[in-house]
Amino acid sequence: MAAGSENAAPLVMAERRKISRGAASYVIRHVRNVCSILVSASRPGSPLEPISPSLTPVLNDLHSQVLSPIFRSHPDLKTASLRDPSKAQAGKSAKQRTAKKVYRATKKDISRQTATWLIRELLQIQQAILKASSDFVAAQTDKKLEETASEAVLDAAAELSAAMKVVGDAYRDVWMKEVSAGAPHQKRTAESDTEFRKIAMPHGSVKLTGSAIKTIKSFMRQLRIEEPKRDPVASIGWTTNRRSKGPEDDSWTNLGDGLTFGAFSRSQVPPDIIDKIDGVEIIFTADNASRLAGKTIDFQKGKFVIQD
């Protein structure tokens, strides 16, 4: 031992994250997609160029806080070309090409500690992107520029959500806890109460079928187990221009107008807008009361619909 070495600070080795090669490949692919989206949208003349200085730290964090730790566990993936398996379609039948295989992780693919680390890092980065871009997008007077900038932000956020899927697959409780804790909590104010009352349907104006009630009760029962502190209240609202993007989708799918099911924290909403049907506390909302007034909502083929 060299002289004086007994007084030297111990060398701390960087922790290796416990994640399988398959799960690591999936996360890396989506994180790289986020990097590509942000770099492309921040170039001179691109929609997010004015906020590129705010996005540079985000890109740095994606590399240093997410990619680098994963590469320490799987060094070969740093230079690997990670193709989307759903795009390896050559030679397959039309039916096979239509069905996209979505990766699904298990507890064997990622440890609970690594899952917690991963989702916290990804949520923090996702929030940083939204924070950096929200004011800029809202301030745009050019409708086309606003839509282009918003599209880039939503694409990046969707890719990060896709990367978080490995956590939700393997540890649903970790995913629920961290997403709930990381979500910005909307404080109830006189202004927010007014906005809620503008879109809330009058009590008794909307009905639910037995199938809809059963589905809502089951969902809310599970939600209260997973988020006991939230005290959630079910919500069904009429939403315009709905869109969705799955983990392996190249672009957004336009779903058109329709019903969206979710939940609010009780502390967020004025109590007088909460309706009650067969023991189910629920809030119905619509931009125009005629959308839902006098209608009956059913649950068919995995979704809520207005009964014919």
Residue pLDDT, tens place only, 35-80: 999 999 888 888 888 888 888 999 999 999 999 999 999 999 998 7
Mean per-residue pLDDT of the chain:
84
- The verdict on 266 and 168 lying in the same domain is no
Q: Which of 160, 182, 204 is the last residue of a domain?
A: 182
Domain count, the chain: 2
Using 50 as the pLDDT threshold, list the residues of the chain that sit under it: 1-13, 88-98
CATH number at residue 259: 2.60.300.12
Count of H helices and E strands in the chain? Answer: 9, 7
- Residue 6 located in a structural domain: no
Q: Which of 182, 201, 234 is the last residue of a domain?
A: 182
Q: What was the pLDDT predicted at 116? A: 95
Q: What was the pLDDT predicted at 6? A: 43
- The verdict on 77 and 174 lying in the same domain is yes
Task: State both tokens at 6.
Answer: 């007994």
- The verdict on 210 and 164 lying in the same domain is no
- Residue 164 located in a structural domain: yes
- d(CA 181, CA 127) in angstroms, rounded, equals 12
Lateral strand order in the sheet of 275-277: 253-265, 232-244, 280-285, 275-277
Q: What was the pLDDT predicted at 95? A: 45
Query: Residue 197: phi, psi to the nearest 5?
Result: -70, -25
- Residue 122 located in a structural domain: yes
Q: What was the pLDDT predicted at 147? A: 80
Q: Which of 182, 205, 230 is the last residue of a domain?
A: 182
Instruction: For residue 214, give its domain range.
Output: 190-306
> Would the pTM of this model clear 0.85, i.e. be above it?
no
Encode pLDDT of 164-175 as tens digits: 999 999 998 898
Q: Sign of torsion, CA 25 29 32 34?
A: negative
- Residue 15 located in a structural domain: no
- The verdict on 164 and 209 lying in the same domain is no
- The verdict on 171 and 42 lying in the same domain is yes
Under 8 Å between Cβ of 180 and 227: yes
- The verdict on 218 and 275 lying in the same domain is yes
Q: What was the pLDDT predicted at 14? A: 54
**Quick one: DSSP state of residue 66?**
I
